[in-house]
Structure formats: C-alpha cells, structure tokens
Structure 1
Amino acid sequence: MEASTTFWDDLVEDLEDPEFLREYVVESMRIATIDNIVNALDEAREAAGLTKASLARAISADPATMRRLFSGGAPNPTLGTLAEVAAALGLRVTLEPLPDLERSKVTQPLLEGRSANTVDLAKYLDGIRRPSRLTSAPA
C-alpha cells in the first residue's frame, strides 16, 4: 500500500507541471479512446460470427494485424485501419462531444495547463485508462 500511496502522491505533484499534465491527459484519453473503439469492434466481430482471420481477409490485411489489434496488448492502430475494420463490420468510426463533466475534467486542464483538483484528475484519468475488456484469447 505504501508504494501505491507514493505513486499517487508523486503523480498528483507531477500534475502541477503544465507540460506533464497536458501529456498525461492526452495519453490517458488516447489509451481510453483506442480501447473503447477496439472493444466495440471486437464485440461487433464476435456478434457477426467472424474470426480475426476472416476479418483480415475482408480488408486485405495480414491476419497478424487483426490478432495484434484485438490482443489486449498495446495496440496503436491507425485511424485508417479502424475505419476499414469498422466498414467490414457495417460500422463507421465517429466523433461525439464529451459530456460536460468529462469536458471539465479533461478539456479545461488541457487548455489551461492546470487543474483545480489534481487528485480528482489523477483518479479520473486512472479510471478511464484501465482496459475494460480486451483479452489475449486466440481467434
């Protein structure tokens, strides 16, 4: 528990630095966004009864590409790849506005380089950075 407390104390202190805060918020949002999109695509793939290999064939990609995308590791797909996979599943990737609460927690610190409550910001970002579903099960 001591190490955990030290981590949080250090993170909260680091978030006082505007440059660190911006980088941490951006990276947290990137991780959460990619995780959400990949999870939704994988659920759609499973609902359609498609294997990763058949989905790869549908977009003329190497099967290893789909295995990496849905592996639960550290995927960093291009927007083009996500759009191709989505299209093969009858979907499209779209943007949506952040809810007001999330906007105040994320957008304002990015624009201002500071947060009124770095403890709450750290906890919020930790919550959205945690992968929710991806597994490393083979297809």
Structure 2
Amino acid sequence: MSTAPTTYWDDLAEDLKDPEFLRSYITESLRVSTIDQLVHDLDEARIGLGLSKADLARAISADPAVVRRLLTLGHRNPTIGTVAEVAAALGLRVALVPMTDEEREQVAEPLRSGTVKDPEELARKFAGARAS
C-alpha cells in the first residue's frame, strides 16, 4: 500500500503553517470552488430554461464565444460583470451570502490571522470542495 496520500496530507498540513502559503491556499481554493459553483448554477439555469449558449449570448449582446468559454470546463476566470449579465438574462441575481460560523472559523479567521488551528482539516475541507 502506498504512503503517498498520507505524505501529501502531512506535507500540505506542514505547508499550511506558513501564513503566506495558508492565505494563498485559502484564497485560491475559494476562488476555484466559487467560480465552479457559479458557472455550474448558471449552466443549470440555462438548461432549465431551454436556452442554447448562443441564445444566452444574444440575450446579453455578447459574442457566443464569451458564453461558450464561460460555461465550458477548463481555465475560466469570468468577470463579475459577465456573471451578473448572464445571471440577469436567466432571471437570477448574484448575491453575497454570509459564511456559517464554522466557515468563518475555518476560512475568514485564518485569512486574517495567518494561522489555522487544524491545518489537515482545512486541507481536507478544500480538497472535498474541489472534488464535488
């Protein structure tokens, strides 16, 4: 049996003790999971309304490639303006939602302080968010 997974988690937990690495890890993990969820939700709404990507592009007066890139897997980093326009065309609004107390403890506090109580738990939390 390989020890690679244990070594990976041990190494990551050790790296998360460095405040700069911790902050970068949290912000990048949140960026990726948030964008993935937003795009997934927008695409589900589009499908639910029976709109093609071209229909959606016309609705926001954008080149069809803009919507295709937004809704296609791979590297994506949409502007908030594009997300808001697409959401509006789908009858949705982009909103900020407060974190739960647990999320604030695991995410916001470590970002502000540069330390985390349980680095391994944090690493596994974000690994799970990326896998779902």
TM-score in same-fold range (> 0.5): yes
* TM-score (norm: length of structure 2): 0.94
2:26 corresponds in structure 1 to 25
Alignment-derived partner of residue 91 in structure 1: 92
Matches within 5 A, 1:101-112: 101-112=102-113
RMSD of aligned Cα (Å): 1.1
- Structure 2 residue 121 is matched with structure 1 residue 120: yes
Measured after TM superposition, the shift of residue 65 of structure 1 is: 1.4
Once the 2 structures are TM-superposed, how far is the Cα of residue 53 of structure 1 from its aligned partner?
A: 0.9
Runs ≥4 in structure 1, deviation > 4 angstroms? none
| Ranges in structure 2 where 5+ consecutive residues have no aligned partner | none
- How far does the alpha carbon of each residue in 1:26-65 deviate from its partner, in whole angstroms, 9 at most, with x for none? 1111111111111111111001100011101111111111
For residue 68 of structure 1, what is the aligned residue in structure 2?
69
Quick check: which one's helix share is greater?
A: 2
Paired with 1:73 and 1:2, the residues of 2 have a C-alpha distance of 30
Q: Distance in 1 between matches of 2:121 and 2:94?
A: 30
What letter is aligned with 2:114? G
Unaligned stretches of 5+ in structure 1?
133-139
The TM-score normalised by the length of structure 1 is 0.89
Structure 2 letter corresponding to 1:19:
E
Q: Match for 1:18: what amino acid?
A: P
**Identity rate of aligned residues, in percent?**
59
